Amino acid sequence: MLIRLSALLALAAAAALLVSSTPAGATSAGAAPARTMPGAGAPARAAKLSSPVIHESFTPLPCTGAPAQRTTLQMEGCAEQQILASDRHIDSLNRSIFGKLFDAPARRRFIAAHSAWLAYRHAYCLSESDVFEGGTEAGVVFADCVAGVNSQHVKDLQRFLASFR
């Protein structure tokens, strides 16, 4: 229950961050565009933005055994190995996209979107694994779900990257 609550809180925080990251030049309804004071420069040291990187919270299990003969732990290990491989692919695509974004606000929105996507992935896959809550199959369903969501996200990021060409 605590994990599910923290997943929902993470999703809400990511959504709030995404909503608060308005596009450059956009304002809230009825608000005037922000103006800088004459003579006021940028802060002496602006925070350096960097491409988002996925950090999984699990210790990966090995992928062993023949596919039709695997135990639930072996199935979970194989799914975790798929997750790690697709995470590396996502990280690589994120770096490529991040480098092509035009300015800091666009990069901040990209980081916020990535955080929201991670929160969504976690909450969605927890929900999917709830069918097997308390059983050994729950971890396998969760890991398979994450691998599947990652696979779709790789396709989405590839399309995003292609739009820069």
pLDDT tens by residue, 43-98? 445 568 999 999 999 899 999 989 999 999 999 999 999 999 999 999 999 999 99
Q: Indicate the angle between helix axes 104-129 and 72-100, nearest 10 degrees.
A: 160
Q: Is it the case that residue 28 has pLDDT exceeding 80?
A: no
- Here the tokens at position 75 are 């199935």
Q: Is it the case that residue 36 has pLDDT exceeding 50?
A: no
* Radius of gyration for the chain, computed over Cα atoms and rounded to the nearest angstrom: 20
| pTM > 0.85: yes or no | no
What the chain holds in terms of domains, given with CATH numbers, is 70-165 (1.20.1270.180)
Burial class (CB in 10 A: 0-12, 13-18, 19+), 151: middle
